[in-house]
Amino acid sequence: MRQALAPLVAGVAIFRDNSIEDIREIVRLLRPALIEFHGAEDDVRMRSFGVPYARALRREEWTTMNAAAIHARYPNAAVFVLHADEVEGDAVDWSWMLQELGKPVMLAGAIVADNVAAIIATLGPWGVSVLESIESAPGRMDGDRMDRFLREARGGADRRRGR
């Protein structure tokens, strides 16, 4: 997998409650620039691999905890990934967390080609994560959907920069 990445493209390893041995092996083989955690891992465990980590937060977490509580629970997170449910679409209000967290924030879930430009132009997240809306079937990426999503995302970034 590492050799398949283009030069200067950083790999991200994503885990949910995997064993320490599995994570160490993937880190050894992939040498990711970032590890993204989605499970019940605590800060001590997430930082124990010597790689910066992103902490994914489900909507139940980021809507019920304030920024100080999130920082207290995950003080060493390099990035936060705020997930929304896919069905929520444009009804998601991420804006307050982007301003308060004070660290890079990625937005995930409920992001599709039809709303990614507006999300990027108005909120300016560090990044967006997309999966289901660019798949033709589970685990099968659709090149045309991916191209459209990327075009829209770039358009949102250009609008944010005033181009």
Condensed to tens digits (0 to 9), the pLDDT of residues 52-68 reads 999 999 888 888 888 89
Tell me how crowded residue 54 is: count the other CB atoms within 10 A of its CB: 25
Which CATH number belongs to the domain containing residue 97 in this structure?
Answer: 3.20.20.70
| Residues 21-37, mean pLDDT to the nearest whole number | 95
119 shares a domain with 89:
no
155 shares a domain with 83:
no
Map residue 79 onto helix, strand or coil: strand
What amino acid occupies position 36? E
CB distance 100 to 82 below 8 Å? no
Q: How far apart are CA 17 and CA 36, in angstroms?
A: 11
134 shares a domain with 82:
no
150 shares a domain with 74:
no
55 shares a domain with 7:
yes
Q: How confident is the model at residue 98 (pLDDT cuts 50, 70, 90)?
A: confident
Q: How far apart are CA 100 and CA 113, in angstroms?
A: 26
pLDDT at 59: 83
Q: In the 8-state DSSP scheme, what is residue 73?
A: H
pLDDT at 80: 94
Give yes or no for residue 150 having a pLDDT over 80. Answer: yes
Distance linking the first and last C-alpha atoms of the chain: 36
75 shares a domain with 51:
yes
151 shares a domain with 73:
no
32 shares a domain with 92:
yes
**Least confidently predicted of 2-6, 53-57, 90-94, 110-114:** 90-94
103 shares a domain with 79:
yes
Q: How far apart are CA 88 and CA 82, in angstroms?
A: 13
Domain count, the chain: 2
Burial of residue 2 (CB within 10 Å: 0-12, 13-18, 19+) is: exposed
pLDDT at 64: 86
Q: How confident is the model at residue 91 (pLDDT cuts 50, 70, 90)?
A: low
For the chain, give the percent of residues with pLDDT over 90: 47
124 shares a domain with 102:
no
101 shares a domain with 90:
yes
Task: Give the pLDDT confidence of 30-88 residue by residue, as tens digits.
Answer: 999 999 999 999 999 999 999 999 999 988 888 888 889 999 999 999 999 988 765 55
pLDDT at 90: 52
Give me the domain span that covers residue 41: 1-110
Single residue among 84, 110, 136 that ends a domain in this structure: 110
pLDDT at 135: 87
Single residue among 110, 126, 141 that ends a domain in this structure: 110
Single residue among 85, 110, 135 that ends a domain in this structure: 110
99 shares a domain with 120:
no
CB distance 57 to 83 below 8 Å? yes
Q: How far apart are CA 150 and CA 71, in angstroms?
A: 31
